[in-house]
Amino acid sequence: MRTDVYIGGAFGPAASGRRFPVVNPATEDVLAEVAEGDAADVDRAVVAARVCFESDGWRKLAARDRGARLARAADVLERRADEFARLETLQNGKPLFESKIDVAMTVETLRYYAGWADKITGDTLPVSGEFFAYTLKEPVGVVGAIVPWNFPLNLASWKLAPALAAGCTVVLKPAEETPLTALLFAEVLEAAGFPAGAVNVVAGDGPTAGAALVRHPGVDKIAFTGSTEVGRLVQREAAASLKRVTLELGGKSPNIVFADADIPAAVRGAQTAIFYGKGEVCAAGSRLLVERAVHDRVVEELAARARKLVPGDPFEKSTRLGALVSKRQHETVLRYIAQGKAEGATAVAGGNAATVHGKGYFVEATVFAGVTPEMTIAREEIFG
């Protein structure tokens, strides 16, 4: 298991020598001690990415060859899919069957952008006079990619694959809770033939490593997925150097059920919408708006299904509800549950912490009824 920073094609310790623990949320055991990157490591990674970006070996690499490398990366990852899925479950707590889906989607993402690499074209523009005018799309440069802990490998591929296809180089900052598959993925890209510095991985916390990446003058674009609150900070910091910024932030997505719906199908859909991924999904269906005529039926059927969703060992085939990603997130979700009860909502299913074999950051599948729009749980993203 790789646990050092990956800079310029080589793994090595962080400049400070510090390390931080990565915890299995289902057992509360420490999986690994990972090198804790800070501003010095981010600077080394950005320099390595810039050197690669400006090198003849990268600049003169044909778009079709970049695509071929992405396709090879997909093949390598597919062969190692079980290894990656197991590691994703160990660090994130999601059921193994979900991690297998995540890895399969990552393979698809790599292949999709492999196909795009030689199809990024400009336009020929009609202009007055005997002139020839055209646009040419060129890579932005060094991309700083910051990803969250809910879909660690898959979301990393969403940023890495298009950047590499376009001819950019990347510094990836994975979430401190789930850095292991990102570090292992560096091996896949190396095996696929990407040169040293094309992708660099620096694990560390957001206020240190993440902030240093956003502020670094050598970074041309930031791609960030995370909370709305942190997204605002990223945009403000990036504005100082006029970096290009892409933000994928939080949500409070409503599902709406009318009386003429297929109610059993709607209830199944509502269950999946909120409980898949333990609810740690920015598009989770965390609000359910139901027409009054079928309200009681929907509540009753959804609560009955939720009560059958028993938290379990993420490696058991029958488990459909794993552990929340960390002790901090566990406490956050329980705080929202307590606040919902205190503000007058009724927990018709769940509402309590749980353990498996006496350990883990588990929470029962919880459904509240009698929620009004001004309540905290109706307005704020719980993310669990």
Q: In degrees rounded to 5, what are phi and psi of residue 199?
A: -135, 130
Q: Which entry of 108, 237, 248, 343 is annotated as an active-site residue?
A: 248
Query: Which residues on neighbouring strands pair with residue 124, listed in sequence order?
Result: 134
Query: Is 282 marked active-site?
Result: yes
Please report which helix (H) or strand (E) contains residue 222, including its range: strand 221-225
155-158 long-range contacts, Cβ below 8 Å, gap at least 24? 155/225, 156/181, 156/182, 156/185, 157/106, 157/109, 157/110, 157/185, 158/109, 158/225
Q: In degrees rounded to 5, what are phi and psi of residue 71?
A: -65, -40
* Dist. CA 118–CA 295, nearest whole Å: 52
- The vertex-149 CA angle with 147 and 153, nearest 5°, equals 65
- The vertex-179 CA angle with 224 and 154, nearest 5°, equals 60
Q: Which entry of 176, 282, 301, 364 is annotated as an active-site residue?
A: 282
For 75, other C-beta atoms within 10 Å of its C-beta total 16
First-to-final CA distance of the chain: 28
DSSP type of residue 118: G
Residues 6 or more apart from 319 whose CB is under 8 A from it? 95, 96, 311, 312, 313
Residue in 173, 178, 172, 155 with CA at minimum distance from that of residue 20 = 178
- The residue count for the chain: 384
CB 288 within 8 A of CB 70: no
Interstrand relation of 10-12 and 287-290 (parallel, antiparallel or unpaired): unpaired
Query: Is 168 marked active-site?
Result: no
Active-site residue numbers?
A: 248, 282
